[in-house]
Structure 1
Amino acid sequence: MELMQLKHLPWAWKRGTDFLGTRYAIMCGAMTWVSESNLVAAISNEGGFGVLAGGNMPPEILAEEIAKTRGKTRNPFGVNLITVAPAFKEHVEVVIREKCPYVFFAGSIPSGRDIAAVKGAGLKLICFAPVLSLAKRLIKQGVDALVIEGNEAGGHIGPVSTSVLAQEFLLNVTEVPVFVAGGIGTGEIIAQYLSLGAAGVQLGTRFVVAEECIAHPRFKEAFVRAAARDAMPTTQFDPSLPTIPVRAILNEGTKDFNRLQFDLLNKVKAGEMPREEAQVKLEEFWVGALRRAVVEGDVEHGSLMAGQSVAFVKRIQPVREILDDLVAGAEASLARMAGEG
């Protein structure tokens, strides 16, 4: 679907496309092991905005991935850094050295020093904001845009749903563009968030099954087979071992995680292990389990991190088809709102 055929969308998400420098204000969320140069470049080449997942990459590998992505697309893309990653400081140095125009901070609340470093280098910084008070603080510190992600999303999630966050943020934050994420699987819902004032959206789960995605075929097939209710969050057994819930398709890996959590909890309660060490071990589980599923295709014991929008994953298809489907649905929905449908 070419831009000239679109009547309503170009205006509805103009703030987002102007900010990103793209045809569509549709970002692909950074998914560890999944959002690498092939998928990121494919999305950016088709008019969306790909985001490279820094994750726990060694800094030199991150620099290589940025170079590979630049070799495959001339269009804008972002780099997502996790503030709690062991090499985060080095990752910040890499994106500054490589002059990556768009940097995302995910994980814990970023320090003012790290925000200033990225901003001082002339890069645009996008942060995730789970609560409104933090959003206001980040805006004061110079953050250029925000992503609000509801707990329908895949991977590590917060406690509040996308629909509630959207009302809270979009009706109260006007200073910077706000992108909505979590549970988005159709163009029709994109239109609804745009009408509330969103600058654009971020999706992850639907892009996992893109032909251009390097994830193992068995990983993709698990997404095609799954229903929304199969993507469930993990539970925290006891407050003495705080754990951030992770949404994934239920499998043996879910049981493996629960067994590990129970074992570590007993050790913490018995004084055999510090709480912080146990929390690190839980995170290490996800890093290893995700790699086993995405790279090796172990869909039984690996981690199948997916959002509830897995309900809208019907088949493996090219990035262009996925974007065309979303854009067509959003345009048609906006036309109906304008009384044309």
Structure 2
Amino acid sequence: MARGTEFLGTEWAILGGAMSWISERHLVAAISNAGGFGVIACGAMTPDLLDTEIAETKQRTGKPFGVNLITMHPALGELIEVCGRHGVGHVVLAGGLPPPGALDKVKATGAKLIAFAPALALAKKLVRSGVDALVIEGMEAGGHIGPVSTSVLAQEMLPEIADQVPVFVAGGIGRGEAIAAYLEMGAVGVQLGTRFVCATECIAHPNFKKAFLRASARDAIPSVQIDPRLPVIPVRALKNREMENFAAKQREVAGLLDSGAVEMAEAQLQIEHYWAGALRRAVIDGDVESGSVMAGQSVGMVKREEPVADIIAELTSEAAAALDTRG
């Protein structure tokens, strides 16, 4: 983990997963202040909103934190400039292969660039492109997911790329023993999202947190793609009425695509905006039936509401104990 903490400038190489509406100034600052690495979820924010969010986070912590940007955001270039103006030390690019010029633009700000790699071929391509670190995230994670489990990705990818760039593992991690196992396999750290949702400092609505505390792993299910012509990245969330509503939304957007009313890029953007709105209804308004309760399969390990510092202390002591017993 020393390689990870040196890369991040933190006490622990534990990244907070970037969860829209949740990973904002309060939770991000709390994770960084507790020795981890908080990451602002830019999501669908405008450049002005991101500018405010970074400034407010800096008011709450003097420790390092990062910003997660979605590669398909239409204002990606401006968002990178906002990060540069604030001197953000680490930018995380998520949501697919970065568009031409995006990597160079991030590097030009002086920030270290972290990218998501859901497959070995993509990981190798990103390393050749000059990314500074990678996150490999399995399908157990909450929110947008890929098709392969974390344990399989780690076995396949860590031996191939862990000696080239620092690699963080994410998806389904709820206890320190799992952190220890991935460190032994060559990872320099981990990323967790679901475990931090019920942190005292998290602004999520009490109904949203209650849904997490009641849920088991099997309640966190992936969305289903309705129309093969409309490629939709599956989203893992707690089973509720919203998961059915999403099927209707896909049919509506596919109809627009068929009629020529929208292009494919606009269709996919509509789906993303839909998720952002559905997630806001659940996280901010507390509507956990017609809102999206995005959660990873580690949700069954979320037992109580507690401060971020206690969550990180528990994870690190479990990891240390597991490594000690192995000598």
Pairwise TM-score range, normalised by the shorter structure: over 0.9
Amino acid corresponding to residue 44 of structure 1 in structure 2: S
| Aligned match of 2:99 | 111
> 2:96–2:116: 8 Å Cα contact kept in structure 1?
no
| Aligned match of 1:53 | 41
Compute the displacement of 1:266 (Å). Answer: 4.8
Name the SS of the counterpart of 2:237 in structure 1. Answer: strand
Confirm whether residue 326 of structure 1 aligns to residue 315 of structure 2.
yes
Compute the displacement of 1:117 (Å). Answer: 1.4
Q: How far apart, in 2, do the equivalents of 1:284 and 1:276 lie? A: 12
Amino acid corresponding to residue 289 of structure 1 in structure 2: A
| Aligned match of 1:305 | 294
Confirm whether residue 176 of structure 1 aligns to residue 165 of structure 2.
yes
1:138-177 to 2 correspondence within 5 Å? 138-173=126-161, 174-177=163-166
Q: How far apart, in 2, do the equivalents of 1:279 and 1:314 lie? A: 36
Q: How far apart, in 2, do the equivalents of 1:197 and 1:24 lie? A: 16
> 1:56–1:87: 8 Å Cα contact kept in structure 2?
no
Q: How far apart, in 2, do the equivalents of 1:112 and 1:335 lie? A: 46
Q: How far apart, in 2, do the equivalents of 1:51 and 1:287 lie? A: 18
Compute the displacement of 1:137 (Å). Answer: 1.9
Kindly tell me: are residues 277 and 57 of structure 1, through their superposed partners in 2, closer, same or farther at Cα, counting changes over 3 Å?
closer
Confirm whether residue 65 of structure 1 aligns to residue 53 of structure 2.
yes
**Equivalent pairs, count:** 326
Give the share of equivalent positions with the same residue, in percent.
Answer: 58
1:15-30 to 2 correspondence within 5 Å? 15-30=3-18
Name the SS of the counterpart of 1:172 in structure 2. Answer: helix
Q: How far apart, in 1, do the equivalents of 2:289 and 2:235 lie? A: 17
Unaligned runs of 5+ in 2: none
1:83-232 to 2 correspondence within 5 Å? 83-173=71-161, 174-232=163-221
Amino acid corresponding to residue 82 of structure 2 in structure 1: V
Kindly tell me: are residues 268 and 82 of structure 1, through their superposed partners in 2, closer, same or farther at Cα, counting changes over 3 Å?
closer
Is the deviation greater in 110-119 or in 66-75?
110-119
Name the SS of the counterpart of 2:134 in structure 1. Answer: strand
Q: How far apart, in 2, do the equivalents of 1:266 and 1:67 lie? A: 42
TM-score normalized by the length of structure 2: 0.96
> 2:227–2:251: 8 Å Cα contact kept in structure 1?
no
Is the deviation greater in 57-66 or in 198-207?
57-66
> 1:146–1:179: 8 Å Cα contact kept in structure 2?
yes
1:199-278 to 2 correspondence within 5 Å? 199-266=188-255, 268-269=257-258, 274-278=263-267
| Aligned match of 1:4 | none
Kindly tell me: are residues 267 and 160 of structure 1, through their superposed partners in 2, closer, same or farther at Cα, counting changes over 3 Å?
same
> 1:112–1:141: 8 Å Cα contact kept in structure 2?
no
Kindly tell me: are residues 46 and 238 of structure 1, through their superposed partners in 2, closer, same or farther at Cα, counting changes over 3 Å?
same
Compute the displacement of 1:279 (Å). Answer: 3.0
> 1:186–1:326: 8 Å Cα contact kept in structure 2?
yes
Q: How far apart, in 1, do the equivalents of 2:262 and 2:94 lie? A: 28
Q: How far apart, in 2, do the equivalents of 1:161 and 1:224 lie? A: 24
| Aligned match of 2:305 | 316
CA RMSD of aligned residues (A): 1.4
Q: How far apart, in 1, do the equivalents of 2:37 and 2:198 lie? A: 17
Cα deviation 1:273-297 (Å, max 9, x = unaligned): 6554443332221011011111111
| Aligned match of 1:3 | none
Q: How far apart, in 2, do the equivalents of 1:333 and 1:182 lie? A: 20
> 1:240–1:269: 8 Å Cα contact kept in structure 2?
no
Q: How far apart, in 2, do the equivalents of 1:69 and 1:291 lie? A: 20
Compute the displacement of 1:64 (Å). Answer: 1.2
Compute the displacement of 1:270 (Å). Answer: 6.2
Name the SS of the counterpart of 2:204 in structure 1. Answer: coil
Name the SS of the counterpart of 1:84 in structure 2. Answer: coil
Compute the displacement of 1:301 (Å). Answer: 0.3
Amino acid corresponding to residue 174 of structure 2 in structure 1: G
Amino acid corresponding to residue 179 of structure 1 in structure 2: F
> 1:236–1:242: 8 Å Cα contact kept in structure 2?
yes
> 1:251–1:301: 8 Å Cα contact kept in structure 2?
yes
Unaligned runs of 5+ in 1: 1-12
Compute the displacement of 1:87 (Å). Answer: 2.1
Compute the displacement of 1:240 (Å). Answer: 1.5
TM-score normalized by the length of structure 1: 0.92
Amino acid corresponding to residue 151 of structure 1 in structure 2: M
